[in-house]
Structure 1
Amino acid sequence: MSSPTAPAAEAAVAPRHALAGLAILAGLLCQILGFTPLALDPHLTGYAFWLATALLWPDIPGRTRRQAGWLAALGLGLLLLARFGYGAVIDWAAMLDGNSFVVAMLVGVSFIGLIGNLRGRPRPPGHPVTGRRGLAGTWLGVHLLGTILNLSTVFMVGDRLARRAPLTMPQLLGLNRGLSSAALWSPFFASMGIVMTLAPAMDYATVLAHGLPLALCAGLVTMIELPRRFDLSDTAGFSMSPRSLLLPVSMAALVMGFHYGLTPELSMVSIITFLMPASALVANLPKGPRWTLGRLHRHALTRLPAMRGEISLFLCAGLLTKGLSTLANAATEGGWTLFDAFGTGEAIASFLAVVASAVAGLHPIIGVSVLASVLDLAAAEQTLFAFTALAAWAVGTSVGPLSGINLSLQGRYGVSGTRMMRENLRYALVMAALAVAAIWLLSS
C-alpha cells in the first residue's frame, strides 16, 4: 500500500537497510507498548535498536563509527573491570538498555517530518531572517520551546533551517546554546528530573530564581560573542513568526495537555515518544489510509535507517554510562563520603570537576551521579547541590563532545563533536565564571 511515487523510492532500498528500518520501528513500538498494559519485555527496545545498529554499521560515517566503537569498547571494558575487579553483580541482559529511551524519543520525533509536509516533497523556503535577529530567533525559539519539548526542538528548528542550506557553525552554536542553557531552570528537562531524584529536598523556587537569570546571561553572551566571530549577514535564523511557531507550539501544547491532564504518570520524554508518531498518523489520515500507510512505509525504509549515526552514538554512549556507573558504584561501596559538609567551596569544586569531566568526554549525568554517590547531603544542602548540578549540566552539555545535544548535532548534521567543543570553549569559560558567581550568591 503506497502512493504512486512509492515504488521508485522503495526499489532503491537495500534489504539490509529495510530490515534495519523495520527493527528501529519495532524498537519504537516496543517502547510505546511499555506505556500501556500491553508492555512486552522491557529489554526488547534496546535489542531492536542494537540489531539495527549492527545491520547499519558498515554505512555509518568513518569518524562516527570509530567514536561509537571506542565508546562501546570502553563501556564493556569497565563492566568487565567492575565484575572481575570488584565482584559487582551485573545484569547483563539490561546492559544494552542504556539511552534506549532517548533513542526511542529521537525516532518518534523523526515522524514530525510527516506532519509539516503533507505533500510529500519539500516546500520552497521563503525569505530568511538573518543577522543578529535571526540568531536571536534561533536561540530564543530553541530555548523557550526546548524547556518543554527538550531535544526534539533542536530537530524541529534545525531541520527547518537545513532546508535552505547545510547548517553553518553560528546556526549550530545557536541550537546548542539555546537548548543547553534551558537545563538551568526548566522543570521538564532530564537534568531537573535527575537532580530532583538525587536531592528530593531541594527548593525549586530558589533554583529558578538563580537559574533563569543565568540562562538569560547565556543568551546575552551568545548575542555578543557570535557576531564578533562570524559574519551573520547571510546566516538564516529561526523566524519567531506565527507560521514558523505553529507546529512546535502546537506540539508543546499537546505535550503539556497530556502531561497535566491525560497521562500525568508519564515523563515528558515518554509523552513525546508516542505523541509525535500519533500526531503524524492523525495529520495524514484525512488523505486516506493508503496514502498514510505509504508515507509511513517509506519513512521506515528510508528515513529511519538514515538516523544510523545518532542512534549508534547514543547507544554506545549509553553502554559507556552503564559501565562507568556500575564501576563507580562497585568502587565506592562502603559509605565513604567526599566532603564532610557541602558549602560554597565544595560546590564550586564540584561544579568545576563535572564540567572538566564533560570536556574530557563524559556526559554530565555521569559526573553528577558519581558526585551524588559520594556525598551525604543534609536537607539544607540539597538546594545548593541541585543548582550546582544543573549549572554543571548546562555548561557541560554545551561544551562536552559526548553530550546529548552534541551527539545529536554530530549524528544528524555531520558536525564534529570535537569542533563543537573548541567553538564553545570561550563561551563555556564565561558561563563557568558566571555560574561560580551564582553558586556563591546562592550559598551566601
Structure 2
Amino acid sequence: MQIFRKYTGWLVLGTLLFYLLTVPPFISILLPTILAWSANVAMWHTLAPSAKRQVSWLMAIGIAALLFAASKGTWMTWQQVFAVNLPMLAMFVAVSFLDLTGSKDESRPLPKGLSAIFNTAIGVQVLGAVINLSVIMVFADRMKGAIRLTPVQQFILTRSFSAAAWWSPFFVATGVAITYAPGMQWQKTLLPGLLMATISIIFSSIEAYRRTKGDFHGYPIRLESLFIPMFLASCVIFFHFIWPDISILVLICILAPIAAILLMRTQSRQKSLSHFVNHKLPQIGSQFALFLGAGVFSSGISAIILSYPQFFNLDAFTFSPLLFSLTLAAMIIAGVIGIHPVVSVAIASPMLLPLNPDPTQLGFLFLSAWAIAAGSSGLTGLGLLMTSRYQIPTRTIINNSRHYAVLMWLLCSIVNGFLL
C-alpha cells in the first residue's frame, strides 16, 4: 500500500498514457484498467467519509446486481464492469493539466447580475459544444474562486453544458445517436436542437436570477480568460477535420496536456511538472473512485435489465409521439438514478429499431435523453464531477433540476410532435 501511495501520481498519469496506447490499439485495455484501479486503491484514504459511503453503496449495489444477473445467465464482460468509464477518467487526468495554466490573478472581480448569468450559460454551452467537459472545469474553477461553487452556479453550468448535446456535432451524444439510430440525418435535428438549447439557457438563467436576486458570480468572459478554452476549441476543430476518425474525447486527452505544457506560466517546466504529478494528480481520488464505482453500478443495472428482456418487448407498439414521450421519460429517470445515457441508448435502440421508426426522430430521442439526463442527474458524468470536484451533494443536484427535467421532457415531446 505504501508503494502505491508513493507512486500515486504516476499511476494516475499512467492511466492516461496507457489508455491512449489502447486507441490504435498498441496494447490491451487491461493495463490502463489495472493502473486506474490501483490508483483508486492508493487514493482511497484521501476521500471524504461521504464520498467513501457513496462509492461503497454504488459498488455494493452493482456487484449484487451483477451476481443476481449472472445467476439468471446474463454475464457482463470484465471491460463492461471495470473499464466502462476509463475514457472519462483518462480525460479527467488530461484536463487536470490545465491547472498548470491557471492565472494567479484572483483579485479581478467576477461579473454579477442577469447579464453574467446569460454570458456564463452561453459561454459554457458554445465552448463546451466543442471541447466538452474541460470547459466545465475551467469555468467552475474560476467561478468558485476561494469559496465553494454554489448550487445555482452548478445548475447553470451543468444544464447549459448538457444542452449542447441537442445540436453540437462534436458532442459525444451525437456520435452515439448516429450509431444507434442508423440513417439519422443530424442536420434535421439541428434546428429543433438549437431551439431546445436556447429554451434551456433562458429558463435556467431566469431561474438563477430569481433564486439569487441577481447576486450571482458568473464567469468573466474576456479574451484573456477565454484564451485557453478558445485555443483548445480551435485545436480540437482543426484536428477533428484532419482526422475525423479520432474521437473528440481522445483528441482532448492528447491536446489538453500538450497545450497546458506549452502555455504554463513558470520558470521551470520540469519542476512544475514534477510537482504536478507527485502532488496535484493524487488529489483527484474522488473522481477516480466515483467513476469506477459508477461504472460497476451501471453495469449491474444493465445486467438486470438484460436479464428480463420480456419486460421490455415493444413489438405490439408503433413509434408514435406517445411512445417517444414515454421512452424519453424512462431514459431520463434512468439517467437520474445513475445509468449513463449511453447505456440507456444502447438498451433502447434494439428495442425500438424493430418498430421501423424515423431515424431522425429516434436520433432526436437519444439526443434529448442525453441532454436532459446529463444536466439533471447527480450520478452520471457531470453530476459525478460536481460531487467529487466541487462538493455539491447528489441530492442537491437532483432536487435542483427535477422541475427542469419535467419541463424539458414536455417541450421535447411537443417539439417532436410538431417539428419532427
Shorter-chain TM-score range: over 0.9
**CA offset at residue 357 of structure 1?**
2.3
Distance 2:399 2:233 in 1: 32
Moved over 6 A (4+): none
Distance 2:274 2:359 in 1: 49
Q: Which amino acid aligns with 2:39?
A: A
Structure 1 partner of 2:281: 304
Distance 1:357 1:90 in 2: 19
Counterpart contact for 2:75–2:303, Cα < 8 Å = no
Counterpart contact for 2:188–2:360, Cα < 8 Å = yes
**CA offset at residue 320 of structure 1?**
1.9
In the alignment, which of 206, 226, 239 is matched to residue 245 of structure 1? 226
Structure 1 partner of 2:262: 282
Q: Deviations over 1:191-233 (max 9, x none)?
A: 2121111102112122112111110000110122111122333
Counterpart contact for 2:72–2:307, Cα < 8 Å = no
Q: Does 2:56 align with 1:69?
A: yes
Q: Does 2:150 align with 1:154?
A: no
Change (3 A) 1:339 1:196: farther
What does 1:353-368 align with in structure 2 at a 5 Å threshold?
A: 353-368=330-345
Counterpart contact for 1:332–1:374, Cα < 8 Å = no
Counterpart contact for 1:397–1:403, Cα < 8 Å = yes
Distance 2:79 2:372 in 1: 34
Q: Which amino acid aligns with 2:13?
A: L
What does 1:216-295 align with in structure 2 at a 5 Å threshold?
A: 216-233=198-215, 235-261=216-242, 263-284=243-264, 287=267, 291-295=268-272
In the alignment, which of 395, 398, 421 is matched to residue 398 of structure 2? 421
Percent identity between matched residues is 27
Change (3 A) 1:392 1:89: closer
Change (3 A) 1:388 1:307: same
Unaligned segments of structure 2, at least 5 residues = none
Counterpart contact for 1:99–1:315, Cα < 8 Å = yes
Secondary structure at 1:304's aligned position in 2?
Answer: helix
Structure 1 partner of 2:192: 210
Change (3 A) 1:367 1:265: closer
**CA offset at residue 433 of structure 1?**
2.0
Q: Which amino acid aligns with 1:428?
A: A
Change (3 A) 1:53 1:422: same
**CA offset at residue 374 of structure 1?**
1.8
What does 1:141-180 align with in structure 2 at a 5 Å threshold?
A: 141-180=123-162
What does 1:21-36 align with in structure 2 at a 5 Å threshold?
A: 21-36=9-24
Distance 1:48 1:232 in 2: 46
Structure 2 partner of 1:81: 68
**CA offset at residue 81 of structure 1?**
2.3
Q: Give the structure-1-normalised TM-score.
A: 0.88
The RMSD of aligned alpha carbons is 2.3
Q: Does 2:7 align with 1:19?
A: yes
**CA offset at residue 334 of structure 1?**
12
**CA offset at residue 338 of structure 1?**
5.1
Counterpart contact for 2:298–2:338, Cα < 8 Å = no
Distance 1:373 1:305 in 2: 41
Q: Deviations over 1:237-280 (max 9, x none)?
A: 1122212211100110011111111x332100000011111222
**CA offset at residue 378 of structure 1?**
5.7
**CA offset at residue 18 of structure 1?**
3.5
Distance 1:89 1:383 in 2: 32
Q: Does 2:41 align with 1:60?
A: no
Secondary structure at 2:339's aligned position in 1?
Answer: coil
Structure 2 partner of 1:4: none
**CA offset at residue 116 of structure 1?**
3.7
**CA offset at residue 401 of structure 1?**
1.8
Q: Which amino acid aligns with 1:178?
A: S
Structure 1 partner of 2:28: 41
**CA offset at residue 73 of structure 1?**
1.9
Q: Does 2:101 align with 1:115?
A: yes
Counterpart contact for 2:341–2:373, Cα < 8 Å = yes
Greater mean deviation of Cα atoms: 130-139 or 339-348: 339-348
Distance 1:100 1:406 in 2: 17
Q: Which amino acid aligns with 2:99?
A: G
Q: Give the structure-2-normalised TM-score.
A: 0.93
Counterpart contact for 1:79–1:323, Cα < 8 Å = yes
Q: Which amino acid aligns with 1:49?
A: A
Counterpart contact for 1:47–1:96, Cα < 8 Å = no
Q: Which amino acid aligns with 1:23?
A: L
Distance 1:17 1:157 in 2: 30
**CA offset at residue 169 of structure 1?**
2.0
Counterpart contact for 1:131–1:236, Cα < 8 Å = yes
Counterpart contact for 1:339–1:375, Cα < 8 Å = no
